[in-house]
A and B are shown apart, each in its own frame.
Chain A
Amino acid sequence: MSPPLLTGMIAVNSVSKFYGSVVAVSEVSFAIDQGVTALLGPNGAGKSTLFRMLCGLTPASRGTLRVLGEDPRRDRDVRGSIGLVPQQDALFDHLTATEFVAVAARTQGVDAVDIDRVVRWALEQVDLHDVGFKPVGQFSKGMRQRVKVAAALVNDPQILVLDEPLTGLDPVQRRRMIALFHRLGDEGRCVLVSSHVLDEVARLGSNVLVVAQGRLIARGDYRDLRELMDDRPHRIRLGSSDPRRLATALVGHGLVSSLTLHDSHVVVETLDVDALGRQLAPIAVDLGVRLDEVHSLDDDLESVFRYLVEGR
C-alpha cells in the first residue's frame, strides 16, 4: 500500500527528476507550511532542480508536487502566488532597480495605480530605495541579489522560493535579509530558502531539510541535527605560537581524545566542545602561548553530509 499523500502549502510526494540517465532528484517527499524552512545541501545536490519543479519551470519525471494544492506546472494562476529568487545572477541589466521591480509587479497583476507604492515598499525591504534609479547592470552582486528579492516580494506572494538568496551579501545585509525572511514567515507565508552554508542555515530557522545527491537525507529541527552532530567527536584546528605545548596541556586536562600535530597548528578531536571552548583561552594564557586560530573543521557542510550519509 502506498503511503498517504503529504499535504501542506508545499507538498512534495515521491518526486524524482531525471535528465536522461542522470538522476537529479530521487524520491523526495516532504510537506511544509507557513514559516521559514531551510533547504540545505551542497552544490549539485538537487536543490535548484527541486525549486524549479516547485515553480513549474520543469516537470517532475515522477511523483507529484502541489503548491497551495495546485500543480505549478499546469496551473498558471498558482504561479502568481509564488515569489522566486533564482540562483542565477541574471537580470535585465538595462532596467533600473525601480523598473525591474515594477515589471515584476505589473506582470503579477498589481493594479497600475498601486505599482509605485508596492515597488517603493519592496525596495525599502531590501534597503535599495535610495538607489532605485540606477540600472541594475551597475549593481554589485549583493545588490543584484537584493533586487531579485524585492521583485519576488512585490506582489505579496504566499509562497517564497529563494535559491541561495544570501550569496554575495555583506554581513549587515545578510542579517537584515534573514530578519526579513523570518518576518515574512511569521506573517503566514511559506518561505523556503536554500543554502549550502551551514552557518546560514543555523540563522535561517529551526526547520531544515537536508538534501544530498538528489535525496532527502534528513529533516527536522536544526538543533536536533546539531545535537546529532554533537554526539560524535568534533575536530578543531588550533593555530598557535607553540602547538606542541598547547596540545600537551589539552591532553593533560582531558579535553581532547586525539590530536594531530603540525608545524604551526594542531588538529584536536574532542567530545566536549563546550568545555574545550571554555578552557582553551585560560590554558593558553597560563602557558604563555599565543592563540592564532580556532577553527571548527566540522561546521562545513561536507562534514554534515559525511556524517548523515556515511555515519562518520
Chain B
Amino acid sequence: MIDETASASLSAYPAGVDRSPVGAFDGLAVSYRLVLGQMRSTGRIVALLLLSMTATIAGFAVGSSESATVDQAAAVIANLGFAVVLPVVCLVFAGGAIGDLRDDKTLVYLWLRPMNRWPIVVGAALASLTMATPIVLPAIVAAAALTGVGNGLTIATLVAGIVGLVAYTSIFTMLGLWLKRHIVWGLAYILIWEGFIALGGRGVAQFAIRTYTRSILDDRTGADLAEADFSTATAIIVPLVVGLAALTLASWRLSHQDVD
C-alpha cells in the first residue's frame, strides 16, 4: 500500500530528542508572543491612539483656561481618561486576547498542549497590557500635566492609570474568554454599570474599578470627586486583587470550556 516514490524522502524521527514538562514561564512566554502577534493591527492601534488623544486635548483645554482648578482638572482625567479611554482601550485588546483565539479557532494549538492553563491566560493578559499601556498611559499622564495644576495630579494619574490598566486588562481578558460578544458586554459594563449604575451610591460604587482610580486622584490631590472615598492603599490593593481573581477565574474557565 505504501507508495515507494512518495515515501522516498521520509525519514524516522530524530534520535535522542528529550521531552520535559512545559514550565510555566515557557507557557507564558509562548502565549504572550502569540497573542501579541495576533493583536498587532495598525488600524486598531491608530483608532485607539486617536481616542486616547481626546483626553490629552481635554487636559490641554483645561490648562488653557486661566481659572482651572484641581477639581476641574481631576474631573476631566477621571471622567474622560479613567471612565472612557482607559477601559475602552483595555476592552479592545484584552477582550480579544483569548477571545479572538477562540473565535478564529487557533486556541486549540495552545489548549491541547500538556501545560497549565494559567500561564496562557497571564501571557495573554500581559500581551494586552503591553499593547494598551503605551496607548493610554502617555496620553492621560500628558493630559494631567497639561492641565497645569501641579505634579500631584500627574503622579496620581500615573499611579491610578497603572492600577486601572492592570485591573481592566485582567477583567476583560476573563470576559473575552467567557463571552462571545465581549465587546458588547464590555461596553455595557463600562457605560451602563460603571458609568451609570455605579454612581448610585457608595454601596454600588465599590463594585466599579473607576471608583478606585478616582479615589487615587481624590486622595493624592485633594480634589473633590464624587464616589471616591477610598484611601490610596485601598484603591491600589482592591483593583489588583480583583484583577488576580479575574485571571484565576479565566484560568479555571479555560480548563473547563469546550474548544473548537
- A residues with CB within 8 A of B: 52, 55-59, 76-77, 79-80, 82, 84, 86, 88, 90-92, 94-95, 103-104, 106-111, 114, 117-118, 121, 124-125, 127, 151, 153, 155-156, 172, 175-176, 178-180, 182-183, 186-187, 203, 205-206
Contacts and interface: CB of A to CB of B under 8 A. Distances in A.
A195 to B, nearest CB: 15
B10 A58 contact: no
A86 B14 contact: no
Contacts of A103: 30, 34, 109
Contacts of B187: none
By size class, the interface of chain B is 35 or more
B17 to A, nearest CB: 5
Contact of B10 (A56, A88, A156, A180): A180
Contact of A106 (B1, B3, B13, B26): B26
A248 to B, nearest CB: 41
Interface in B1-51: 1-3, 5-7, 9-14, 16-22, 26-27, 30, 34, 37-38, 40
Contact of B18 (A92, A111, A187): A111
B240 to A, nearest CB: 29
A151 B109 contact: yes
Interface string B244-260: 00000000000000111
Contact of B108 (A84, A94, A153, A176): A84
B13 A121 contact: yes
B202 interface: no
Contact of B113 (A79, A86, A118): A79
B114 A76 contact: yes
Contacts of A180: 7, 10
A179 B18 CA distance: 26
Contacts of B22: 106-109
23 contacts: A57-B111, A76-B114, A80-B19, A80-B114, A86-B105, A106-B26, A107-B22, A107-B30, A107-B109, A107-B110, A107-B113, A108-B19, A110-B17, A111-B19, A118-B13, A118-B14, A121-B11, A176-B3, A176-B7, A178-B6, A182-B7, A183-B7, A186-B2
A182 B2 contact: yes
A179 B19 contact: no
A91 B260 contact: no
A109 B21 contact: yes
Q: Which residue among B3, B106, B109 has the maximum number of chain A CB atoms within 10 Å of its CB? A: B109
A47 B16 CA distance: 35
B20 A109 contact: yes
Contacts of B37: 92, 94-95
A205 B3 CA distance: 12
Nearest to A19: B258
B2 A175 contact: no
A174 B149 CA distance: 71
Contacts of B13: 118, 121, 153, 156
B104 interface: yes
A305 to B, nearest CB: 24
A118 B210 CA distance: 50
Contacts of A77: 114
Given A92-B109, A109-B114, A111-B17, A179 B7 contact: yes
A107 to B, nearest CB: 4
B242 interface: no
Contacts of A52: 258-260
A114 B13 CA distance: 12
Contacts of B112: 55-57, 79, 82, 84
Contacts of B106: 90-92
A203 B18 CA distance: 34
Nearest to A187: B12
Contacts of B12: 187
B17 A124 contact: no
B221 to A, nearest CB: 43
B11 A124 contact: yes
Interface string B126-161: 000000000000000000000000000000000000
A186 to B, nearest CB: 8
B208 interface: no
B57 interface: no
B114 A108 contact: yes
Contacts of A121: 11, 13-14
